[in-house]
Amino acid sequence: MKTVKAGLHADRPVTEKRLDEAVDRGGVRRRSSLQAVSVAFQKPCLVIHFEDDSGVLLPVNLYREFDDFEPEDFTGLNIGFAGTALCHDGKDLQVSIAGMISASQPLMAMAASVIASRNGRQSSTAKAEAARANGRKGGRPRKVDPVP
């Protein structure tokens, strides 16, 4: 695990420019990260809704953090840490939503498949230029059967 040391920047004055930069960085981080907006308990699952109106059902019996929860305790769950965690103040619980999803093998397999598909469609500049050069030469050469 990578350790990041926090820096103290108390000596740097807050200017309008730095404030605008911080707001922009926060917006980029928010758009590129997991943003849950609500959680509900629908026995036997937690229903987590995201900013884009998608959602996921996670069975609570897979997570030991909820072993001591009674059905009424689930109503106290809320979204915290900028939409990245489930929190329960009465039980002093903070659980990462990404961590919960990563604990599910089928969800991780699906995520790996989606990422592989997306990465397969990407083309580097060199790859695109090579494809154009091959096109100018008439495209991919035809396969020639070896003579027996």
Specify the CATH number for the domain of residue 100: 3.30.2020.40
**pLDDT more than 70, % of the chain:** 91
- The count of domains in the chain is 1
Range of the structural domain that residue 85 is part of: 34-117
Q: Is residue 86 assigned to a domain?
A: yes
Pairwise CA distance, residues 136 & 46, whole Å: 56
Mean pLDDT along residues 6-15: 73
79 pLDDT higher than 90: yes
Interatomic CA distance for residues 113 and 100, integer angstroms? 19
As a whole number, mean pLDDT of residues 32-37 equals 78
Return left, alpha or beta for 53; rule: phi > 0 is left, psi -120 to 50 is alpha, else beta. Answer: left
Which residue has better confidence, 128 or 148? 128
